[in-house]
């Protein structure tokens, strides 16, 4: 089968012919229907050998994966051959701590590092992928190409938004900063799950238009006056919830300045910048939170929302053999939605 592989740290990945794997006990072999591309892949391509530490390349990239069950390993029950499935990206969880038992494996108490599909294990930019059955979620008859971005872009934003939902009552305001792959799904979750006013912030006009078309009440360009504009729209109250899908110093500053008292700002964007935290630095009673991907329980819910048509994945399709064009378009900011690479063998299936 073909796979897009990082052979050595900091060398450009390339398409290789590799043997098709077979599932061991507890595993499923999944025929990949689509694999979404993420900024994290670009970060992994730049990682030094030292940063890879004890799980270095070679490996197949790609962690936004959906497809069909192809072979069922010994001891796995509850899956049918040919059934459409989606895969959670993070695989480092213990399976027995309290968050794991709740299906919040992403918050496992014992998982100290990011490890999973395409990070430490072979990922989904290939015709087939092996996954432990406990990280695989059946999804009825849902199209794997549309499901792939839901496993990371969708699952991350849903998991970040869910704890804020009880405060997002009529008259409240939610802001999404950065409405690209993640944020456009964030806007749609807010639109379908709560009655807050939804404000989208970005510096890309096309993305703001898409956000408007997918449920944002207001769209604002991202600059030093954005927080003031949010304060104006909310008559000086501020936003009850801010989801920062960028994580730059400027967006964090905007988020805090736009936040209402008792509001919540959740950071998922990985620009890795920081802002001061102190008694008079953030609004009284406000909560600052981070969130990382999501677990199997939330992935089921996200897929259900998509199956009901409550959210729409906006996909830019690329044949797997054109994966490098897709990464280039991601880097150049040319994507409309999420880039999904589709193996030729999957095209024949659907
Ligand atoms: P994307 O490129 O699809 O979208 C980013 C959006 O942010 C674009 O619309 C861009 O125009 C906008 N933007 C950039 N700078 C901005 C600014 N200063 N103000 C407002 N908008 C700005 O990226 P994505 O795939 O949506 O990923 C977003 C971030 O989330 C990345 O940093 C990625 O690494 C991170 N991420 C985090 C998790 C997690 O679990 N925490 C999971 C996946 C991705
Ligand atoms: Zn990702
Ligand atoms: Zn655990």
> pLDDT for 225-258, tens place per residue?
999 999 999 999 999 999 999 999 999 999 999 9
Domain chopping of the chain, boundaries:
2-152+294-349, 156-290
- Residue 31: count other Cβ atoms within 10 Å of its Cβ: 21
- Average confidence (pLDDT) over 31-51: 95
pLDDT, residue 348, reads: 61
pLDDT, residue 53, reads: 84
Which ligand lies nearest the alpha carbon of 294?
1
In CATH, the architecture of 156-290 is 3-Layer(aba) Sandwich (3.40)
Short-list 85, 42, 43, 88, CA closest to 64:
88
> pLDDT for 54-105, tens place per residue?
889 999 999 999 999 999 999 999 999 999 999 999 999 999 999 999 999 9
Across 327-339, b (16+ Cβ under 10 Å) vs e yields: bebbeeeebebbb
Instruction: Give all strands of the β-sheet with 218-221 in edge-to-edge order.
Output: 218-221, 197-202, 173-177, 239-244, 259-267, 287-290
Tell me how far the alpha carbon of residue 227 lies from the centroid of ligand 3, in angstroms.
38
Average pLDDT, the chain: 96
pLDDT, residue 111, reads: 85
Indicate which atom in ligand 1 lies nearest the CA of residue 335.
3
On whether the CB atoms of residues 88 and 105 are closer than 8 A, the answer is: yes
On whether the CB atoms of residues 49 and 99 are closer than 8 A, the answer is: no
CA angle 308, 311, 315 (to 5 degrees): 115
pLDDT, residue 350, reads: 57
Q: What percent of the chain has pLDDT over 90?
A: 95
301: pLDDT strictly greater than 60: yes
327-330 long-range contacts, Cβ below 8 Å, gap at least 24? 327/37, 327/41, 327/42, 330/37, 330/39, 330/42
Of 46-50, 77-81, 260-264, the one with minimum mean pLDDT is 46-50
pTM of the model: 0.97
As to burial, measured by CB atoms within 10 angstroms (0-12 exposed, 13-18 middle, 19+ buried), residue 163 is middle
In CATH, the architecture of 2-152+294-349 is Alpha-Beta Complex (3.90)
Tell me how far the alpha carbon of residue 129 lies from the centroid of ligand 2, in angstroms.
17
Q: Is the dihedral of CA 119, 124, 125, 130 positive or negative?
A: positive
The encoded tokens of residue 262 equal 């008792």
CA–CA gap between residue 257 and residue 251 (Å, rounded): 10
Tell me how far the alpha carbon of residue 90 lies from the centroid of ligand 2, in angstroms.
10
CA–CA gap between residue 1 and residue 283 (Å, rounded): 54
Spell out which residues line ligand 1, taking CB within 6 angstroms: 38-40, 152-153, 156, 177-183, 201-204, 207, 222, 245-248, 250-251, 268-271, 291-293
CA angle 210, 215, 219 (to 5 degrees): 60
> pLDDT for 313-338, tens place per residue?
999 999 999 999 999 999 998 998 89
pLDDT, residue 77, reads: 97
């Amino acid at each position: 089968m073909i796979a897009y592989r990082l052979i050595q740290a900091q060398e450009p990945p390339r398409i290789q012919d590799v043997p098709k794997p077979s599932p061991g006990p507890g595993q499923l072999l999944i025929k990949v229907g689509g694999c979404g591309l993420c900024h994290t892949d670009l970060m992994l391509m730049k990682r030094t050998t030292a940063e890879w530490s004890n799980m270095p390349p070679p490996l197949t990239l790609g962690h936004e994966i959906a497809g069909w069950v192809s072979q069922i390993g010994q001891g796995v029950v509850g899956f049918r051959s040919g059934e459409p499935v989606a895969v959670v990206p993070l695989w480092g969880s213990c399976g027995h701590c309290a968050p794991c038992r709740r299906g919040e494996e992403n918050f496992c108490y014992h998982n100290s590092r990011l490890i999973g599909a395409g990070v430490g294990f072979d990922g989904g930019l290939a015709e087939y992928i092996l996954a432990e059955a406990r990280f695989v979620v059946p999804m009825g008859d849902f199209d794997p190409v549309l499901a792939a971005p839901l496993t990371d872009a969708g699952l991350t934003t849903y998991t970040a938004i869910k704890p804020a939902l009880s405060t997002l009552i009529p008259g409240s305001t939610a802001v999404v900063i950065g409405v690209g792959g993640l944020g456009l799904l964030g806007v749609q979750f807010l639109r379908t799950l709560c009655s807050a006013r939804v404000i989208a912030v970005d510096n890309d006009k096309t993305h703001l238009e898409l956000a408007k078309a997918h449920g944002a009440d207001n769209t604002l360009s991202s600059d030093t006056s954005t927080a003031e504009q949010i304060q104006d729209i909310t008559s000086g109250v501020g936003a009850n919830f801010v989801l920062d899908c960028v994580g730059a110093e400027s967006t964090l500053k905007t988020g805090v300045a736009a936040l209402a008292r008792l509001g919540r700002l959740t950071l998922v964007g990985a620009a890795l910048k920081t802002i001061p935290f102190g008694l008079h630095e953030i609004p009284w009673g406000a909560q600052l939170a981070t969130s990382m991907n999501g677990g199997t329980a939330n992935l089921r819910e996200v897929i259900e929302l998509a199956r009901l048509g409550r959210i729409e994945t906006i996909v830019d399709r690329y044949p797997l053999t054109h994966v490098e064009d897709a990464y280039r378009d991601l880097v150049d900011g040319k994507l409309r939605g999420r880039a999904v690479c589709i193996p030729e063998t999957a095209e024949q299936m659907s």
